[in-house]
Amino acid sequence: MRWRLAGVSAGLTLAILVLFGVIVGNLAAQRIRDDFNHEMKGAVATLASQVQIVDTITNTLIVREPDLGDFVSPNDASVRIYDSQGRELDSSPNAAELGPPVPGIRDIGEMQVVTVALRSRQTGRIAGFVQYGRDEQHVDSTVGRLWLLIAAGVLGATLLASLAGVAIARRAMRPIASLTATARTIADTGDPSSHMPQPRVEDEVGELARTLERMLRSLDAARAEREAALKRQREFVADASHELRTPLTSILANLELLQASLDEPAREDERAMVDSALRSSSRMSRLVGDLLLLARADAGRIGARTRCDLAEVAGNAAAEVAPTIGERELRIENERPLPVDGNPDELHRMVLNLLDNAARHTPPGSRIELRLRAEGTSAVVEVADDGPGVPAELREQIFERFVRSDGPADTAIGGGSGLGLAIVSAVARSHGGSAEAGESDLGGALFRVRLPLRTSKSERGINPALDPL
């Protein structure tokens, strides 16, 4: 914008100055030529007044004239004097060829020649002619220098106008540049609580700044209202999920008691109905537990953290899932204890979901490996298998909620809720870690979770004698 304004300013200045220069140059050049012509006419008139021609009865011409050399020397001119028959009577030293004596003004080569007739005082007849000529080259040179000066002035003025236009445009665009920088910062940070620069003058830019400021305040208020609504929604889901666990636990307990009381063969139909209700209630209980965990993570309700061994937690989860994996082979690679600060129940659920996901999406006879190791300051949990794997286009969104990847290798009875890997990601993030999916060295899927290792007391700069842990 600054350069466009400067360019427009320079273009308009150049156009105006060119037009003005053409007009002034033509007028000045015409004035120079008019002065030259006037000077020529005056010089020949002066010379003619000083030349005396006497016409006698014997037709003898007697010419009395000034010294022609002294007359023409100041202007490097040429003078020739003729009688009425066109015969040359006299000329200045080194006079140039001025052509035939024809009264008037003519151009002979590069010279301008003025010819006047001389009349006899006795008879009034034309008795001779006087020619006065001067080279026009110095006039053309003067006019050329004039045009050169005008062109230099136009270009210099245009350059100065361009510099002034750039400076003025930069000064005029400075408030807009400040508004642009602030808007870019807000776009990068996504924080509409920032304020636009306050305008110093009451103009269009100031009105724009105030309009943008009002827009930001409206957006900030809308965002605050939306975040408050989302927070209330998350808290409601968390509280509702927590409250649902109690009646579900009671329902499960009563169904289990009812199931135990229906051992008679005659009551097999009733027992089948109770078994179905018990399975549905168990599935509902797991779903409510998943929702509770995710809702607490969304609401920022961090569970109690304590020092625990991630390797031990993962081993317990593997022991729990081992009876449910059927004909699949489960291998555990555990190098050493992995101390972390975390919630044991949530970490147990994270590893359990990874193993359950691997068992669900691999055919019988597959191999599942649970690998635990330390890498630098991170504890790494990997679950790899030799099943069909995860499609590359699904790896970015597989940790989102309610994303399912059903295929021919799925062997679990009933479809999943689509929350298992979302819980893995939520638990990893809440513990300061991350979760990712890829391809394993076994040819199937690989899920990797990284969590920060618990640093020793000496590494944290704590006096072991003062640390109760």
Chain mean pLDDT for the chain: 77
* Mean pLDDT lowest among 88-97, 262-271, 307-316, 433-442: 262-271
* Number of Cβ within a 10 Å radius of residue 250: 10
* Residue 112 DSSP SS3: strand
Q: How far apart are CA 449 and CA 72, in angstroms?
A: 110
Asked if residues 109 and 139 have their Cβ atoms less than 8 Å apart, the reply is no
pLDDT over 90 for what percent of the chain? 5
CA 208 to chain centre: 20
User: What average pLDDT does this structure show over 55-59?
Assistant: 47
Give the pLDDT confidence score for residue 36 in this predicted structure: 83
Q: How far apart are CA 13 and CA 4, in angstroms?
A: 14
Quick: pLDDT tens for 335-364: 788 999 888 888 988 898 899 888 888 888
Asked whether the predicted pLDDT for residue 10 surpasses 50, the reply is yes
Nearest-10 crossing angle of helices 268-298, 204-261? 150
Number of H helices, E strands in the chain: 8, 14
418, two tokens:
């689509």
Q: What is the pTM of this model?
A: 0.47
Quick: pLDDT tens for 382-397: 999 988 888 887 877 8
Asked whether the predicted pLDDT for residue 234 surpasses 80, the reply is no
Quick: pLDDT tens for 126-163: 778 888 888 888 888 888 888 888 888 888 888 887 77
199, two tokens:
């305008």
Asked whether the predicted pLDDT for residue 465 surpasses 50, the reply is no
User: What average pLDDT does this structure show over 311-329?
Assistant: 87
Give the pLDDT confidence score for residue 411 in this predicted structure: 47
Asked whether the predicted pLDDT for residue 60 surpasses 50, the reply is no
Q: How far apart are CA 439 and CA 446, in angstroms?
A: 5
Asked whether the predicted pLDDT for residue 257 surpasses 80, the reply is no
Q: Which amino acid is at 314?
A: A
Give the pLDDT confidence score for residue 463 in this predicted structure: 42
